Chains A and B, each alone.
Chain A
């Protein structure tokens, strides 16, 4: 039998090699062992087992890494925590932050997004200020300075909003705006530059009786995030287009 086929057979049958014996507890029990949540006798028995059972030793390690997590010092951990904090809305418990597409779809999405941006923004090119919109970084979750204040739309509306309006932030040279559904999915996103405090809302984007959220982020000329607004909710309950 060739090596590759043998590898495959071993890999395919490996899940049947666990648990190693009847002494192996469910994998999640190891946190209880480390936390001393079990009666002393049980604790001793399992701790001894983890020293001789290779599979359980690996599960013990996983649990140990979880329970010994240190304070937030790593910048990537900080970034993830920032994402989680912003996704967590006290009033509704959880609103998911926008998910990324699967990695295999990203190149195609990139091409599609680029094409859509060209189509959408080509007519606006002449009115952009010299230098255009600075290259805005992905959301860093880190902002300095005050919030950006929302003017409208907000709350229950008896009209269809034609614009998103906010108070200009003194340090801002560009803004990124996004409108979200209740599940946190981005429904529409745009960027604008200069001393502006509003952008138009595409026709037909807003539907009656549907809850939307929107948010504006301010960026400096260097593309640094300087402030952002609260994610603001609105719903159209009356009026005509």
Chain B
């Protein structure tokens, strides 16, 4: 059993920074034995299969190694770790989504958009975005809205959302996404017609 087991993460990092190289390495090893399962579990929830999750976790761990010196001990270590993990993992998902470019017919629900846009497109996008936001607030139930956000804003796949939210219904997040999109179409339809068909 590691002699550092009783130290909390922050104390361990302080020791890691102050100790001689050998002890510092031992502290680093202990820290990462705590990091690995947390990152692995979250990536597995996000990806839904262990191979993709292992690749994603590897990206995260590399980033944590590189950036550990930038952690200023102004928050809990897990707060910082989550920031690095979330950013790395979701960037990776979005990047894969862009590469795939393959439209998946999930009951005619399209893939999340590639967010690169020109200035005029951004102006239109803001107007439409505001309208979507208003309808979501008023008409969608909280779970539908969460699924819609996670899928279209964070770029998470439907199985990943089902895992992450712990949904146990038969069709998981798909039913909530389809329901949410149906409500959005119903309430935005006439307005979208005027904006985009003119």
Contacts and interface: CB of A to CB of B under 8 A. Distances in A.
A61 B87 CA distance: 15
A99 B55 contact: yes
Contacts of B189: 1, 6
A144 interface: no
Q: Is the interface of A mostly helix, strand, loop or mixed?
A: helix
Given A1-B192, A14-B132, A35-B76, A66 B50 contact: no
Interface size class of A (residues with CB under 8 A): 35 or more
A79 B165 CA distance: 23
A81 B185 CA distance: 43
Given A9-B196, A14-B148, A31 B62 contact: no
Given A54-B136, A77-B41, 20 more contacts: A1-B189, A7-B181, A13-B124, A14-B153, A15-B113, A15-B129, A15-B152, A17-B153, A31-B79, A32-B75, A55-B153, A62-B150, A63-B82, A66-B85, A77-B37, A79-B50, A81-B37, A83-B57, A84-B36, A102-B99
A97 B57 CA distance: 11
B14 interface: no
B54 A83 contact: yes
Contact of B54 (A27, A62, A79): A79
6 contacts: A8-B110, A17-B136, A66-B42, A74-B41, A77-B44, A80-B53
Interface in B51-85: 51, 53-55, 57-58, 61-62, 65, 75-76, 78-79, 82-83, 85
Nearest to A84: B36
B60 to A, nearest CB: 9
Given A80-B53, A84-B36, A102-B99, A69 B83 contact: no
A241 interface: no
B37 A72 contact: yes
A61 B165 contact: yes
Contacts of A61: 146, 164-165
Contacts of B171: none
A6 B34 CA distance: 46
Interface string B25-61: 1001100110011111111110000110111011001
Contacts of A97: 54, 58
Contacts of A6: 185, 188-189, 192
A22 interface: no
A20 B79 contact: no
Contact of B112 (A14, A17, A58, A72): A14
Interface residues of B, number: 76
Given A37-B75, A90-B29, A14 B40 contact: no
B76 A80 contact: no
A5 B192 CA distance: 10
Top 9 closest A-B pairs, CB basis?
A16-B129, A54-B145, A14-B152, A31-B82, A80-B40, A58-B146, A13-B128, A17-B133, A37-B75
A74 B44 CA distance: 10
Contacts of B153: 14-15, 17-18, 55
B18 interface: no
Nearest to A72: B37
